[in-house]
Structure 1
């Protein structure tokens, strides 16, 4: 098995530690699994959450609960509700995450989202 191989495993998120990340407004609670070149997170956004930065990293974001808005620097806004997903490669957008009612997300990012 290579260092970056991930063996089969079931993940019990109840046992993954939570870390707080303060936004411009509100808090994001992360539960993070880090592998070589891959990060998987469950992220809970508080009510009235606004990220404290414009992000240019690539992500796959799946909304499990609630609602969020991803605002792009060009002014476009994309709403995600439970069951919806967005995907973007590194460097292809500058986006800001906002949630009025709060949201719970599954976020996957890593080396596979680098642009060629």
Structure 2
């Protein structure tokens, strides 16, 4: 990930209107900041959420609260809880998607 030229920006996430994104099951709500090719998000995954696609985009993801499971297309599953993070590159070692039973909030840079 290359960060584009971006001026110092303070983000008040409470002032960003969430956008609804349905999953295969459940719903997520994204609050996004975009600057060129950089996207920074706070995502709230609702209960019983399962992503509707396999993602091959690089991310840095940090779990703020709750728990989720990262499913990898090669069959691996990585449980994550509050305080855990992961990094994966574009077209990294395995496409991935997330699921959560109770819901969770994450911070993502991609």
Does the alignment reach a TM-score above 0.5?
yes
- Larger C-alpha radius of gyration, 1 or 2? 1
Distance of 1:53 and 1:37 partners within structure 2: 21
> Could you tell me which residue of structure 2 aligns to residue 8 of structure 1?
8
Report the Cα offset of residue 5 of structure 1: 2.0
1:19 pairs with 2:23: no
Unmatched 5+ stretches in structure 2: none
1:77 — aligned with what? Answer: 77
What do you get for the CA RMSD once the two structures are aligned?
A: 0.8
Whole-angstrom distance in 2 between the partners of 1:86 and 1:67: 13
Matched ranges for 1:70-109 at <5 A: 70-92=70-92, 93-109=94-110
Measure, in 2, the Cα distance between the counterparts of 1:94 and 1:9: 31
1:52 and 2:86 matched: no
In the alignment of these two chains, the number of paired residues is 106
For residue 57 of structure 2, give the secondary structure of its aligned residue in structure 1. coil
- Structure 1, unmatched stretches of 5+, are 110-116
The range that moved more, 10-19 or 38-47, is 10-19
For residue 28 of structure 1, what is the aligned residue in structure 2? 28
User: What are the equivalent positions in structure 2 for 1:104-115 lying under 5 Å apart?
Assistant: 104-109=105-110
Is 1:65 aligned to residue 65 of structure 2? yes
